[in-house]
Amino acid sequence: MIIKYIRPVILILALVVVFSFCAKKESDKIEKGKIEMGIKKQSFGKTPDGIDVDLYTLTNANGLKARLITYGAILVSLEVPDKNGTPGDIVLGYDDLDGYIKENPYFGAIVGRYGNRIAKGKFKLDGVEYRLATNNDENHLHGGIKGFDKVVWQAETVQKKEAAGVKFTYLSKDGEEGYPGNLPCTVIYELTNADELKVRYEATTDKATPINLTHHSYFNLAGQGTGDILSHQVLLAADYYTPVDEALIPTGELRPVKDSPMDFTSAKAIGKEVDLVKGGYDHNFVLNNQNGTLALAAKVVEFSSGRIMEIYTTEPGIQFYTGNFLDGTITGKAGKVYKKHYGFCLETQHYPDSPNKPNFPSVILRPGEKYTHLTVHKFYASQE
Ligand code: BGC
């Protein structure tokens, strides 16, 4: 009697399981244009010296989500739909503040006062020699020991008709990490309904100073922690790059990319020639557009998810870094272990070591002038 009923019962149970799995998959999908745009503020904990850190979640009308914290003005996650409409977090990072404070290779951070290296932490300006904090052997990297990525920024929300944003402000004091001049800085992140993440920078100073602000997300368009980024296809709008010495300091030369592994003028997989570049890509590319207007700098395509990212910038350079120093010792979000090449950075910027390279575009900001920089990350997905 019981045996007679067992098979249909098992069949019904199996159908229920399959149905609820499919229903869940459907509900994971984002319905374009149907989500309420918004900004949510929450606590993200306290720094060891007791300063409150806040988390802002920006959501656009298509369900893209950017989560930003006041510590380092860090983008802690960025959820973007794939070709099936299923959202995925495409930037590396940590689940909590502790992770960012203990050891952060600049995941998602705003880098300043000077992005990338200044040789021997020294430069001369108007006849005066300045000595900066050194934190990369004998060189100065990403603003020094306590750069803009390690300070708590003030924040206020920015709500527009077609965008949700956060405006971060920070006053870098005269003498901080060795730099001259008080430098009030503003960084505004906006998530627009056109599926763009815009980063807009502004600063002024009361003494001449070098400045080079950038954003340092490590991307993996297949989803953070899912594997290496070697099959991503990259295009860079750059006919020249700045070769470097052993310590990754530019030699001063602008070299054509043509006929070298540095040639990304047509899209190619990152992994195609990465082994021909000692250590992996960690180079500044000289963008073809040098006139300060917004122009396409890079396009990245990841076929399995269909996700595509385009980067537009007003800056003259872009640092292409392929996560060469990730070595499996960092456990990031959702317990994911980050190994070599698990993320790539495309940092829009002026060239490294410009304060010591008179032939590079100037990075000197003087009293009465305004530093401005706009970078736009545009996201979409393709079925191909
Ligand atoms: C630099 C790398 C550096 C990395 C730190 C990149 O911008 O070019 O050399 O190791 O930042 O995470």
Q: Looking at residue 235, which CATH number applies to its domain?
A: 2.70.98.10
Which residue in this structure is represented by tokens 């995925």?
88
* Alpha carbons 315 and 321: distance in angstroms, whole number: 17
Q: Is residue 31 part of a domain?
A: no
CA of 305 to the centre of ligand 1 (A): 27
pLDDT the model gives residue 6:
64
Give the model confidence (pLDDT) of 142-201 as tens digits: 999 999 999 999 999 999 999 999 999 999 999 999 999 999 999 999 999 999 999 999
H or E, element range at 165: strand 163-172
For the CA of 282, the nearest atom of ligand 1: 8
Residue nearest to atom 6 of ligand 1 (CA): 321
Residue nearest to atom 8 of ligand 1 (CA): 282
CA of 116 to the centre of ligand 1 (A): 7
Average pLDDT over residues 250-270: 98
CB atoms within 10 A of CB 299: 17
* Alpha carbons 24 and 16: distance in angstroms, whole number: 12
pLDDT the model gives residue 22:
47
| Weakest mean pLDDT among 4-13, 99-108, 355-364 | 4-13
77 phi, psi to nearest 5 deg: -155, 155
pLDDT the model gives residue 106:
98
Average pLDDT over residues 243-265: 98
Q: Is residue 6 part of a domain?
A: no
pLDDT the model gives residue 206:
98
Query: What length does the chain have?
Result: 384
Is it the case that residue 272 has pLDDT exceeding 80? yes
For the CA of 214, the nearest atom of ligand 1: 7
pLDDT the model gives residue 4:
63
CA of 115 to the centre of ligand 1 (A): 9
| Ligand 1 binding pocket mutation candidate from 116, 214, 246 (most atoms within 8 A of CB) | 116
Average pLDDT over residues 88-94: 98
Residue nearest to atom 5 of ligand 1 (CA): 105
Question: Using 50, 70 and 90 to split pLDDT, how confident is the model at 383?
Answer: confident
Residues within a 6 A CB radius of ligand 1:
105-106, 116, 248, 282, 319, 321, 325, 345, 347
- Please check whether residue 100 is in contact with residue 150, taking contact to mean a CB–CB distance below 8 angstroms: no
- Please check whether residue 212 is in contact with residue 114, taking contact to mean a CB–CB distance below 8 angstroms: yes
| Weakest mean pLDDT among 23-32, 61-70, 196-205, 244-253 | 23-32
Q: How far, rounded to the nearest angstrom, does the alpha carbon of residue 206 sit from its chain's CA centroid? A: 29
For the CA of 105, the nearest atom of ligand 1: 12
- Please check whether residue 18 is in contact with residue 45, taking contact to mean a CB–CB distance below 8 angstroms: no
CA of 321 to the centre of ligand 1 (A): 7
* Mean pLDDT (the chain, rounded): 94
In Å, how far are 3, 5, 7, 23, 198 from 16, measured between CA atoms? 21, 17, 14, 10, 44
CA of 125 to the centre of ligand 1 (A): 25
Which residue in this structure is represented by tokens 């306290």?
46
Is it the case that residue 342 has pLDDT exceeding 90? yes
Which residue in this structure is represented by tokens 């973007």?
80
Is it the case that residue 314 has pLDDT exceeding 50? yes
Is it the case that residue 354 has pLDDT exceeding 60? yes
Catalytic residue numbers read 216, 347
pTM over 0.75: yes
> Can you give the residue range of the structural domain that contains 177?
38-379
Rounded to 10 degrees, the C-alpha dihedral 346/351/355/358 comes to -170
| Ligand 1 binding pocket mutation candidate from 325, 341, 348 (most atoms within 8 A of CB) | 325
Q: Is residue 242 part of a domain?
A: yes
Q: Is residue 19 part of a domain?
A: no
| Ligand 1 binding pocket mutation candidate from 326, 345, 349, 353 (most atoms within 8 A of CB) | 345
CA of 10 to the centre of ligand 1 (A): 56
pLDDT the model gives residue 384:
72
For the CA of 325, the nearest atom of ligand 1: 10
Name the DSSP class of 11.
H
For the CA of 106, the nearest atom of ligand 1: 12
Number of domains in the chain: 1
CA of 183 to the centre of ligand 1 (A): 24
Is it the case that residue 126 has pLDDT exceeding 70? yes
Q: Is residue 21 part of a domain?
A: no
Q: Is residue 346 part of a domain?
A: yes
Is it the case that residue 13 has pLDDT exceeding 80? no
pLDDT the model gives residue 36:
87
Give the model confidence (pLDDT) of 300-310 as tens digits: 999 999 999 99
User: 241 forms bridges with which residues in the sheet?
Assistant: 255, 285
Residue nearest to atom 10 of ligand 1 (CA): 325
Q: Is residue 10 part of a domain?
A: no
Q: Is residue 28 part of a domain?
A: no
